[in-house]
């Protein structure tokens, strides 16, 4: 899939607060109600990568609660570290489209901010790093 480097103006930002922390994951609850046209749910989870997939060079996963249990809920993306402390990036794949997601975790992981870019906006790594440094 070719990178889409055109600047996107339609960015949705979601803010969450940690409500439960375990050894391998943290559950967050949205601070505001999320737009109906978003796949982001009121509850989300950041999980540590435990080697159960063929993914490489990542340390965390992002999951939304779209089912009655976390185990059945959708795992959206792995999180890759950017060069900015506490900032990660991933993608949301829907059909043939790949959309950029940026994640900012507070120093003690109490707060999470997720930025969802326009559908089919997934720029080059250089642009992702530039966007990450501005969070």
Q: Which DSSP category does 129 fall into? A: H
Q: What is the pLDDT of residues 77-107, one digit of tens each?
A: 989 999 999 999 999 998 888 999 999 999 8
Q: Residue 7 domain-assigned?
A: no
**Helices first, then strands: H and E counts in the chain:** 1, 8
Q: Residue 1 domain-assigned?
A: no
Measured CA angle at 127 (ends 124, 132), to 5 deg: 125
Q: What is the pLDDT of residues 4-41, one digit of tens each?
A: 655 545 889 999 999 999 999 999 999 876 665 678 99
Q: Residue 2 domain-assigned?
A: no
CB 64 within 8 A of CB 76: yes
C-alpha separations of 128 from 1, 18, 103, 131 in Å = 16, 26, 12, 5
Q: Which domain holds residue 30?
A: 12-133
Q: What is the pLDDT of residues 54-78, one digit of tens each?
A: 666 678 999 999 999 998 999 899 8
Distance of CA 86 to the CA centre of its chain: 12
Q: Residue 4 domain-assigned?
A: no
User: Who's near 13: CB < 8 A, 6+ residues apart?
Assistant: 113, 114, 115, 116
Q: Residue 119 domain-assigned?
A: yes
Domain count, the chain: 1
Measured CA angle at 29 (ends 26, 32), to 5 deg: 150
Q: Residue 3 domain-assigned?
A: no
């Amino acid at each position: 899939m070719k990178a889409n480097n055109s600047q996107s103006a339609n960015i949705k930002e979601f803010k969450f607060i940690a409500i439960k922390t375990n050894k391998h994951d943290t559950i967050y609850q949205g601070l505001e109600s999320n737009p109906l046209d978003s796949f982001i749910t009121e509850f989300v989870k950041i999980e540590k990568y435990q080697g159960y997939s063929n993914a490489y060079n990542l340390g965390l996963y992002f999951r939304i609660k779209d089912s009655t249990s976390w185990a059945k809920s959708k795992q959206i993306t792995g999180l890759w570290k950017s060069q900015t402390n506490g900032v990660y990036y991933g993608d949301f794949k829907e059909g043939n489209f790949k959309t950029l997601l940026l994640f900012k975790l507070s120093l003690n992981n109490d707060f999470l901010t997720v930025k969802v870019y326009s559908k089919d906006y997934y720029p080059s790594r250089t642009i992702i790093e530039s966007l990450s440094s501005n969070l």
